[in-house]
Amino acid sequence: MPDLTHELLPRLAGRTLPGLGLWPEAVLPDYGGYSIANLTASLAAWLGTPPFGTTPLAAELTEPLGPDVRRVVVVLMDALGYLRFENQLREPGSPWVRLWQAGVLGALTSVFPSTTVAALTSLWTGRAPGEHGLLGYEMWLREYGVVANMIKFSPMAAGDTPELLFEAGFDPAKYLAVPTLGQHLAAAGIPVHAFVQFHITESGLSKMHLAGAKVHGFFSPADLWVNLREHLQATAGQRQLCWTYWPMVDTLSHYYGPDTSRVEHETAAFARTMAEAFLEPLSPAARAGTLMVVLADHGQVLTPNREEYNLKHNPAFTDLLHILPNGEHRASFLHCRPGQVEAARHFVKVTWPGCFAVEDQATVMASGLLGESLDRRTASRLGELLVLSRDSAYLWWEAKPNHMLGRHGSLTRDEMLVPYLAARLDRL
């Protein structure tokens, strides 16, 4: 079946946006049908509901899959960038290749920032980050007067204590300015089943994203794939969306770096378990009308620990800011003191020459990097300047040891290009 990557990869890597002074090899989000944010509208179309979200995926990515889709299984592998997924396709007998033979292989861009909070929210709302308003792992919430951890929904200064914002009235199920796909499908009478690890079934971010969905917890890949198989066989022929989320590629990539063999073996092992526990024993009745879509939210880039990026060594820089940077370490938001915007821009360019692009808020918001429609709160969350990392650069401002060897959030090929593998299970 079609391999669209030879055509898509150069096209996605060659886009530009007005006004941005980025490096030539930067990869920009393509919200016009080639980003992960566009999958949401296609899911609604496949399941026969009214339009939802923004533009659907481009026709070349969906037409080879044919008509009469009754249910869709989404497999989201956190941080599995396309360039590393491509290595899996070269392995003889790879289950990924088997799926490719029953569908279509392509590539998509992530969103900006290329990070889990922004990307997963785009997948569940069909909106670019500037419209849904969740812009990074750390975010200045003016309405609460705090820089918050947007996975734990607590002040960053609170460390590992989760959900402290709930005590201030924060309600994750009501915080988004746009509806979720689960709510949309539920209103149309189409059930949504989300399969996530037990330890995040009740997290604040899960409550936000999975509104309208029935959540199924699992412990391991084997548990996931057996649970999913048994569910599909018990509900054969029923129109529905099944969402699965596997975070371990992201975890290993952060801790060891994305180029470690652990990541490659983890991806291959996940696929083998998928084949043995799910694809091979799945009954013909359960396969009928079932479409499976495999993709990632973003990739990662290797970021060796380098003390020159640690802001504790640069108090003259942090003195130019109201608060420490936030957002992502590779896509940092600077909230500058009055009259210090140009001084902060100059400091970055002189101190770390060639390592970062620095863009002002107005240029970013006008460029379309965050999408065309913007939530009214986006400007205050961005700050006056955005610092975007090239190559392996990053800014570190945390008051704790820096153990991460892999990061994401910026606009490199490794971070922005993700796989799109869609297959009809009734063709296997």
Backbone angles phi, psi at 149, to 5 degrees: -80, 115
CATH number for the domain running over 307-407: 3.30.1360
Residues 205, 130, 50, 237, CA torsion sign: negative
pLDDT, tens digit, 9 for 90 and up, residues 180-208: 999 999 999 999 999 999 999 989 899 99
DSSP 90-108: TSTT-HHHHHHHTEEEEEE
pLDDT, tens digit, 9 for 90 and up, residues 248-281: 999 999 999 999 999 999 999 999 999 999 999 9
Q: CA-CA distance, 247 to 355, in Å (whole number)?
A: 29
* Tokens of residue 2, six digits: 């079609």
Query: Is it the case that residue 1 has pLDDT exceeding 80?
Result: no
pLDDT of residue 91: 85
Strand pairing category for 146-149 and 154-155 = antiparallel
Backbone angles phi, psi at 329, to 5 degrees: -65, -20
Residues of the chain with CATH 3.40.720.10: 5-131+158-300+413-427
CATH topology of domain 5-131+158-300+413-427: Alkaline Phosphatase, subunit A (3.40.720)
pLDDT, tens digit, 9 for 90 and up, residues 302-359: 999 999 999 999 999 999 999 999 999 999 999 999 999 999 999 999 999 999 999 9
Q: CA-CA distance, 298 to 78, in Å (whole number)?
A: 7
Q: CA-CA distance, 174 to 180, in Å (whole number)?
A: 11
pTM of the model: 0.97
Average pLDDT, the chain: 96
Q: CA-CA distance, 174 to 330, in Å (whole number)?
A: 29
Q: CA-CA distance, 126 to 120, in Å (whole number)?
A: 10
Residues of the chain with CATH 3.30.1360: 307-407
What is the crossing angle of helices 261-274 and 221-234, to 10°?
30
pLDDT, tens digit, 9 for 90 and up, residues 110-137: 999 999 999 999 999 999 999 999 999 9
Query: Is it the case that residue 413 has pLDDT exceeding 80?
Result: yes
